[in-house]
Amino acid sequence: MSIHPTAVIDKKAELDSTVHVGPYAVIEEGVRIGADTKVLAHAVISGPTTIGERNLIGSFATVGGAPQDLSYKGEPTELIIGNDNQIREYASIHRGTPGGHGKTVIGNNNLLMAYIHVAHDCHLGDHVIMANVATLAGHVEVGSNASIGGLVAIHQFCRIGCYSYIGGVSGIGRDVPPYVIIAGTRNGTKISGINKIGLKRNGFSRETITKLENAYRIIFRSNTLLIKDALELAKHEIPDCPEVDSMVKFFEDSKRGVALRTVEEVNGD
């Protein structure tokens, strides 16, 4: 274990013998940190927080702080972080609330850049990228392999679908479907199509991408169909495709409503 002499570590914190702790870092009671994790200078980790293996906690990051929720009265809630995550400088990640099942959860292999904020009760999958100053309000769910651009703000209780891409400086007030590209202000977010580049980079076949493009045309560009009818048509026209089934189910499970406005609609095409 490598602990700088200026670091402050509570006696009840549990650190693996291979953890590195930099100058002036503070690790409080109720924190557990797994093997080969690095906590850099001036980072603050509060508990109850469980951090897995091979994570990087950047300088001045605040991890496991109490939720910013007026209804929170000090109840025992927690933050759970998986393995191989990079949490960069000045990031803030808060514990859950009793109303959100008491947990904020971050998966594995995520890149959370400088100044990002993950609020109480959020759930992030794996391989998520949040660029600088991206912000999640409470109870947001982010699917695996989603990319969230810089300065993006996402409203509480929204869901961000897997493999989606949100352009920088966007405001998101509704659920973002999986596999799409979206950008714009909260009242003018526009979906521009399937995230083909992201899907190719993640090994999706040409056939699967084509099927998703066909589903996109049915669901998002069938101006004569109600959305429920478009979803049924997509399932019927493109059978035996788990990705299309996943997109349809995402719509069916939505409680806030799903972003549907496309670039073509905005431009009057």
How many other C-beta atoms are found inside a 10 Å radius of the C-beta of residue 203?
Answer: 7
Give the CB-side neighbour count of residue 259, counting CA atoms within 13 A: 34
Domains of the chain are 2-139 (2.160.10.10), 198-267 (1.20.1180.10)
Q: Which residues are catalytic?
A: 120-121, 138
Indicate the pTM of the whole model: 0.95
Per-10-residue mean pLDDT of the chain, 269 residues long, equals 95 98 98 98 98 98 97 96 98 97 97 98 98 98 98 98 98 97 88 97 98 96 89 96 98 94 56
pLDDT at 177: 97
pLDDT for res 105: 98
pLDDT score at 1: 75
Which pLDDT value is given to residue 224? Answer: 83
Give residue 263's pLDDT: 56
DSSP-assigned letters across all residues of the chain? -EE-TT-EE-TT-EE-TT-EE-TT-EE-TTEEE-TT-EE-TT-EE-SSEEE-SS-EE-TT-EEEEPP--TT--S---EEEE-SS-EE-TT-EEE---GGGTTEEEE-SS-EE-TT-EE-TT-EE-SS-EE-TT-EE-TT-EE-TT-EE-TT-EE-TT-EE-TT-EE-TT-EE-SBBPTTEEEES-GGG-EEEEE-HHHHHHTT--HHHHHHHHHHHHHHHH-TTS-HHHHHHHHHHHS-S-HHHHHHHHHHHH-SS-B---BHHHHHT-
